[in-house]
Structure 1
């Protein structure tokens, strides 16, 4: 693997983890959105990744798609809510804050690790240039 391919592969990881962090931020921002029981709850987004060139060991990773959460969400009894139905229920997204925070930590660490690979590859490239000058 060359220095430039290491930078390219790590760059694909940075992109995927950034999109994962964006999805988590969107999920957390909408965790308290209320909908009437006649409508859909906010649907959480879950990023799906796959190898860019599976089996070759090259190419890095890409976002394969996005899975959406359950539109039914969870029913909560809030009779004072203006969106409540006759029985007093409203619909909230089925998003678990603890799970989202755990995913955020994993995505942040992976994002940072990929940036570190880019930084180390850049340092190796600059050291090789200095050897050539010397």
Structure 2
């Protein structure tokens, strides 16, 4: 396979992986304030596991191999007026840090953009190569 097609394939797989990560981060941010009753399972952070393809494979890149949920216990929050509060006034909130999620969001966005740039440059190279052949 040509270097141009390898670049397109690798960048495309990177874009898919980062899109999956962006979706997971968005889901986590959307549920950062999801409250559950004590004894119920709290919202679990969605993670993304990516693996590089075999270097000897015909098409390079990465694949999303799993999107597991984190196994975190949640944190007790005192909110006696919440409808789900127990007799002691506690509810369970997810163990998520907005600042970490926002940092991950910026990293994922920039990485997606970098892969988009690589894809565009590879496409332009391919188009120029076709023009030479005319």
Question: How does the TM-score come out when normalised to structure 2?
Answer: 0.92
Q: What are the residue-to-residue correspondences of 1:31-70 with 2, within 5 Å?
A: 31-53=32-54, 55-56=55-56, 59-70=60-71
Give the equivalent residue in structure 1 for 2:26. Answer: 25
Q: What is the distance in 1 between the residues matched to 2:124 and 2:32?
A: 42
Deviations 1:75-108 (A, max 9, x none): 1000111100111110011111000000001100
**Partners of 1:98 and 1:67 in 2: CA distance:** 21
Partner in structure 2 of residue 96 of structure 1: 97
Q: Which residue does 1:75 correspond to in 2?
A: 76
Aligned residue pairs: how many?
A: 132
- Tell which deviates more after alignment, 66-75 or 90-99: 66-75
- Other-structure match for 1:87: 88
Q: Which moved more, 1:67-76 or 1:30-39?
A: 67-76
RMSD between superposed Cα atoms in Å: 1.4
Deviations 1:15-59 (A, max 9, x none): 000000000000000000110002011011010111121x43852
Distance 1:121 1:17, change over 3 A: same
User: Gaps (5+ residues) in structure 1?
Assistant: none
Whole-angstrom distance in 1 between the partners of 2:101 and 2:47:
10
TM-score (norm 1): 0.92
Higher strand share: 1
Tell me the distance in 2 between the aligned counterparts of 1:116 and 1:65.
Answer: 26
